[in-house]
Amino acid sequence: MSKIGVIGSGTWGTALAVLLTGNGHEVELWSAVPAEVEALTATRRHPNLGDTPIPEKIRVTGDLEQAMKDKELLVLSVPSVYVRETAHRMAPFLKEGQVITNVAKGIEDTTLKNLSEIIEEELPVARVTVLSGPSHAEEVSRGLPTTCVAGAHRRQDAELVQNLFMSPVFRVYTSPDMLGIELGGALKNVIALAAGIADGLGCGDNTKAALITRGIAEITRLGTAMGGSPETFSGLTGIGDLIVTCASMHSRNRRAGILIGKGYTMDEAMKEVKMVVEGVYSARAARALSKKYQVSMPIVEQVNEVLFDGKPAKDALYDLMLRDRRAENALLEWKE
């Protein structure tokens, strides 16, 4: 049994706390909101996780120092826009060499840094790892079979995360490609917005398949230009996460996209979804990175124009379809 602190009591943090408790670990679940601590303690239910009970063994706390004290692992599970602020708050209580696993997905739009880079800036004495993959909290909390990837700079840290999370219903692989894992997790949210917009416009399965396929091509082009491994983008944290996020109604990015396709503004869609829509924050960063690395990302570009420039969604789809003719893969050679 290990002592684990889960920093962030949203749906994902709560689902992982339930999973880790089921694995026999001693878990404390931290929330920054006193009313949420009180509600979770009293009801032993998260409002967005249906009837899944929060085991009595899980201690819900608003005391960050207590949540971090003597823990073998700290799971950082706050929305990407709060990662830097939360890591900064953790600094006074972190012990040198403590392992932190970030499970949020996003890119900081002001610095274009991955979340692990932000954590390492704010908490330089930590051993930072990531856990990502096609894993909706609603399904993990119900014990439905799920697979993820643990990434780290050092093999032993990735294997620590693997060992703590692994269960008969939660399979964990390891990888040294932290950059690729994080880019796949962040950028797929932008493509999921596009998939949702297409759904909102009344498009069909053909359109969805095209957006997923061309979306992973864009993600791979940028990811490899930045130093990620092509194999990562063809794996669980690339195409796997992209498929589940584009296809499922559990995906807040897809749900927000559907509303935008139906004519909602970005702000109206985010209010309707009632949870943080990570793709909105990652879209600007993705466009900036595409320009920095001189990588063509037409889907990302059109999503940005719809979100921030007031472009009608149907016009964005039209412009994607009527781009210049080209080969699907420029690396393939003709025999004649």
For range 229-244, the mean pLDDT: 96
Please state, in angstroms and rounded to a whole number, the distance separating the CA atoms of residues 132 and 298.
Answer: 25
pLDDT for the residue numbered 170: 98
DSSP reduced 3-state for 297? coil
For residues 325, 291, 232 and 329, what is the CA-based torsion angle, rounded to 10 degrees? 20
Q: Is 230 exposed, middle or buried (0-12, 13-18, 19+ CB in 10 A)?
A: middle
Taking the C-alpha atoms of residue 185 and residue 133, their distance in angstroms, rounded to an integer, is: 7
Under DSSP, is residue 170 helix (H, G, I), strand (E, B) or coil? Answer: strand
45-63 confidence digits (pLDDT tens): 999 998 899 999 999 999 9
Q: What is the CA radius of gyration of the chain?
A: 20
Fold of 179-321: N-(1-d-carboxylethyl)-l-norvaline Dehydrogenase; domain 2 (1.10.1040)
Alpha helices in 44-114 (DSSP H): 64-68, 83-90
Residue 278, pLDDT score: 85
Poorest-confidence range of 7-11, 126-130, 204-208, 269-273?
A: 269-273
Could you give the residue range(s) of every CATH 3.40.50.720 domain in the chain? 3-176
* Residue 188 annotated to the active site: yes
**Is the pLDDT confidence value at 267 over 80?**
yes
- Out of 3, 188, 291, 292, the active site residue is 188
Torsion angle of C-alpha atoms 253, 255, 259, 264, degrees rounded to 10:
-40
What is the rounded distance in angstroms from the CA atom of residue 49 to the CA atom of residue 15? Answer: 8
Contact residues for 197 (Cβ-Cβ < 8 A; gap 6+): 257, 258, 260, 261, 303, 306, 313, 316, 317
Q: Are 107 and 100 in contact (CB under 8 A)?
A: no
Q: Using one digit for the tens of pLDDT, what is the confidence trace for 65-88?
A: 999 999 999 999 999 999 999 999
Cβ–Cβ contacts within 10 Å for residue 252, how many? 25
* Contact (CB, 8 A) for 208 and 199: yes
The mean pLDDT of 304-332, rounded to a whole number, is 90
Residue 258: pLDDT band by 50, 70, 90 thresholds?
Answer: very high
Question: Residues spanned by CATH 1.10.1040.10 within the chain?
Answer: 179-321
Summarised one tens digit per residue, pLDDT across range 146-187 is 999 999 999 999 999 999 999 999 999 999 999 999 999 999
Q: State which H helix or E strand residue 244 sits in.
A: helix 241-247
Look at residue 279 in the predicted model and tell me its pLDDT: 87
CATH of span 3-176: 3.40.50.720
**DSSP label at residue 53:** B
236 CA to centre of own chain: 12
CB 143 within 8 A of CB 111: no
